[in-house]
Amino acid sequence: MTSPKKLHIKSYGCQMNVYDAQRMADTLAGEGFVETAEADDADLVILNTCHIREKASEKVFSELGRLRVAKDEAARRGRQVSIAVAGCVAQAEGDEIIRRAPVVDIVVGPQSYHHLPTLLARSRAGEAAVETEFPVDDKFNFLPQPKAEAIRARGISAFVTVQEGCDKFCTFCVVPYTRGAEVSRPAEKIIDEVKRLADNGVREITLIGQNVNAYHGEGEDGRTWPLGRLLYRLAEVPGVLRLRYSTSHPLDVDDSLIAAHRDLKALMPFVHLPVQSGSDRILAAMNRRHTASDYLKIVERFRTARQDIAFSSDFIVGFPGETECEFTETLALVTEIGYAAAYSFKYSPRPGTPAAEMRETVSAPDMDERLARLQSLIDSQQSAFNRAAIGSTVEVLFERAARKDGQIVGRTAYLQPAHVMAPPDIIGQVKPVRIESLERYSLLGELAPIGALTSPQPAASLSPTGA
Ligand code: SAH
Ligand code: SF4
Ligand code: F3S
């Protein structure tokens, strides 16, 4: 018997890439590939890349430099190694990648990776293997279902792509160019995928999309369903204990989504709702199409529907022309909302986007200084939010054994890691935990009796500055 071929996938960027990497592995499992954690023993290495900021794209080329050495070494020993570049850099740069890094055999965009087996055969036959057109066939109709063992090996929490692409064209962003136009998968396909995951031990489903709440797929009844309607349906799937979704755009928050938060216990009260800036002038220049006060009103609608809801966000500092005063409007918005967590980035000009043509750039030292101030405000909010959990009893979904012997780690509704001493059979279950202390970002606690849950703490009452 020949030994199985080995596959190593390294993913960068967002959750969509994590999901895509799993589906690539499922596709190549049908070709006899098994995954390996080591790039050096692999027969096929896939870099699943991200183009969102310059640093993210440049990482790929330094990794390719390292892989060239490994590939040459393998060739000297008579072993042929193939290197593929997938994901958003592949889509954006196409065969330019092979010109810059001839070590690459295959270039495949995020909408075409169901063709990986054919591309691999083509490259092994010495033909060009570049595919970055947006194909007419829908990859989801061709991707095989993951095997039951693969689902179990991936753990109790899974991503499911429900929507891809983006039509918003924020002026700084490459996603509409790398992922293409917004498309929603039919509800029936999503429900089947979720049932299969739940039948194989998955207990938490995160629906993902570049702009997930723009979901408008065909429903089981033939009508167009918004995300809220889909969430109601998925909450009925046996075994699904928790539902989440990411990433949302404020403009696409509709009544069905707010109602789902009001009605569905399984829908976690934690929403990633990027705002990018607190300045109306910058928001307009970014083409976000809402103001800071619109955003505050949307947050209020969520809070009215579910008092224990908390938010996270993304911010860009140093967008072209951002003044000190406009930046302080971002700080003011953050203070007003009180986030449980947030990501902040220095603006990075991306080729082909309208903002990259804007002349009034912000200097590097100003950007660094603004980023540091924003991150320190966000950190203090996050610590205050985490400290507020101490002394309360909250539900935790247990995921896996922790590094420390006898400890099991899970997550709260707000994705805070929580550690308890407990038997491993609680993995996959939701249990009440009394939170006793906080160690950096992790909560430590003890299993508590059923019924000991603390009533939800209104997120708005948390001190936003950590005071
Ligand atoms: N669809 C999501 C975000 C996708 S990209 C949304 O609409 O918010 C993830 C985050 O990367 C963005 O929210 C933004 O904060 C950041 N980002 C995108 N393009 C960027 C750029 N050119 N420079 C710096 N940060 C950027
Ligand atoms: Fe990019 Fe804007 Fe689309 Fe988000 S909504 S993916 S930031 S263009
Ligand atoms: Fe990056 Fe593409 Fe995701 S650019 S953030 S991998 S959609």
Helix 324-337 to helix 292-305 angle, to the nearest 10 degrees? 10
Query: Are residues 306 and 346 in contact, defined by beta-carbon separation less than 8 angstroms?
Result: no
Integer Rg of the chain from CA? 23
**288-305 in b/e burial notation, b at 16+ Cβ within 10 A?**
bebebebbeebbeebbeb
Whole-number Å distance, alpha carbon 316 to ligand 1 midpoint, is 7
pLDDT score of 462: 46
Q: Is the pLDDT of residue 123 over 90?
A: yes
Ligand nearest the Cα of residue 352 is 1
pLDDT score of 335: 98
Return the bridge partners of 134, or none.
none
pLDDT score of 455: 66
Pocket test for ligand 1, best of 282, 314, 374 (most atoms within 8 A of CB): 314
Pocket test for ligand 3, best of 9, 15, 16, 170 (most atoms within 8 A of CB): 16
Phi, psi of 251 (to 5 degrees): -65, -25
pLDDT score of 252: 97
Residue 283 burial (C-beta neighbours within 10 Å; 0-12, 13-18, 19+): buried
Instruction: Name which of 410, 387, 357 is nearest 464 in CA terms.
Output: 387
Q: How far apart are CA 219 and CA 199, in angstroms?
A: 22
Whole-number Å distance, alpha carbon 235 to ligand 2 midpoint, is 28
Residue 457 — very low, low, confident or very high, per pLDDT cuts 50/70/90? low
pLDDT score of 97: 95
Whole-number Å distance, alpha carbon 322 to ligand 2 midpoint, is 19
- Mean pLDDT value of segment 11-24: 96
pLDDT score of 460: 44
Domains of the chain with bracketed CATH: 5-131 (3.40.50.12160), 146-268 (3.30.750.210), 393-459 (2.40.50.140)
**Ligand 2 contact, 175 CB (< 6 A):** yes
Q: How far apart are CA 7 and CA 21, in angstroms?
A: 11
Ligand nearest the Cα of residue 247 is 1
Q: Is the pLDDT of residue 1 over 60?
A: no
**Ligand 2 contact, 316 CB (< 6 A):** no
If you ran DSSP here, which 8-state letter would residue 37 be given? S
Q: Is the pLDDT of residue 466 over 50?
A: no
Pocket test for ligand 1, best of 15, 212, 316 (most atoms within 8 A of CB): 316
Residue 137 — very low, low, confident or very high, per pLDDT cuts 50/70/90? confident
Tens-place pLDDT, residues 307-319? 999 999 999 999 9
Nearest CA to ligand 3 atom 3: 14
Q: How far apart are CA 46 and CA 36, in angstroms?
A: 12
Query: Are residues 426 and 395 in contact, defined by beta-carbon separation less than 8 angstroms?
Result: no
Q: How far apart are CA 419 and CA 437, in angstroms?
A: 10
Residue 138 — very low, low, confident or very high, per pLDDT cuts 50/70/90? confident
Residue 134 — very low, low, confident or very high, per pLDDT cuts 50/70/90? confident
Tens-place pLDDT, residues 394-450? 999 999 999 888 999 999 999 999 999 999 999 999 999 999 999 988 999 999 988
Residue 439 burial (C-beta neighbours within 10 Å; 0-12, 13-18, 19+): exposed
Q: How far apart are CA 92 and CA 155, in angstroms?
A: 32
Amino acid (one-letter) located at 89? V
Amino acid (one-letter) located at 204? E
Q: Which segments of 54-145 are extended strands (E)?
A: 82-86, 106-108, 130-131
Q: How far apart are CA 405 and CA 166, in angstroms?
A: 45
Tens-place pLDDT, residues 339-367? 999 999 999 999 999 999 999 999 999 99
Pocket test for ligand 3, best of 49, 52, 212, 314 (most atoms within 8 A of CB): 52
Residue 381 — very low, low, confident or very high, per pLDDT cuts 50/70/90? very high
pLDDT score of 2: 64
If you ran DSSP here, which 8-state letter would residue 121 be given? H
Ligand nearest the Cα of residue 356 is 1
Q: Which segments of 121-239 are extended strands (E)?
A: 130-131, 157-161, 163-164, 183-184, 204-208, 216-218, 224-226
Residues with CB under 6 A from ligand 1: 52-53, 172-173, 175, 210-211, 247, 249, 274, 276, 314, 316, 345, 347-348, 350
**Ligand 2 contact, 275 CB (< 6 A):** no
Tens-place pLDDT, residues 84-93? 999 999 999 9
Lowest model confidence (mean pLDDT) among 130-134, 201-205, 260-264:
130-134
Instruction: Provide the mean pLDDT of the chain.
Output: 94
Nearest atom within ligand 1 for CA of residue 249:
7
pLDDT score of 422: 95
Whole-number Å distance, alpha carbon 50 to ligand 2 midpoint, is 14
Whole-number Å distance, alpha carbon 236 to ligand 2 midpoint, is 31
- Mean pLDDT value of segment 202-229: 98
Q: Is the pLDDT of residue 467 over 60?
A: no
Whole-number Å distance, alpha carbon 251 to ligand 2 midpoint, is 11
467 or 150: which leads in pLDDT: 150
Residue with tokens 């500055």: 465
The CA–CA distances, whole Å, from 82 to 39, 67, 70 equal 11, 10, 11
Q: How far, rounded to the nearest angstrom, does the alpha carbon of residue 359 sit from its chain's CA centroid?
A: 32
**57-85 in b/e burial notation, b at 16+ Cβ within 10 A?**
bebbeebbeebeebbeebeeeeeebbbbb
pLDDT score of 122: 94
- Mean pLDDT value of segment 199-223: 97
- Mean pLDDT value of segment 267-287: 98
Q: What is the DSSP string of 330-374?
A: HHHHHHHH--SEEEEEE----TTSGGGG---PPPHHHHHHHHHHH
Residues comprising the chain, all counted = 467
Whole-number Å distance, alpha carbon 173 to ligand 1 midpoint, is 6
Residues with CB under 6 A from ligand 3: 13-14, 16-17, 50-52, 87-88, 174-175, 178-179, 210
Return the bridge partners of 87, or none.
49
Q: Is the pLDDT of residue 183 over 60?
A: yes
Nearest atom within ligand 2 for CA of residue 167:
3
pTM higher than 0.85: yes
Phi, psi of 301 (to 5 degrees): -60, -45
Return the bridge partners of 160, or none.
207
Side by side, the strands of the sheet bearing 130-131 are 33-35, 5-11, 44-49, 82-86, 106-108, 130-131
Residue 209 — very low, low, confident or very high, per pLDDT cuts 50/70/90? very high
Structure tokens at 73: 């070494």
Pocket test for ligand 3, best of 11, 50, 132 (most atoms within 8 A of CB): 50
Nearest CA to ligand 3 atom 1: 50
Q: Is the pLDDT of residue 465 over 50?
A: no
Phi, psi of 210 (to 5 degrees): -60, -30
Residue with tokens 């508590």: 448
Whole-number Å distance, alpha carbon 170 to ligand 1 midpoint, is 9
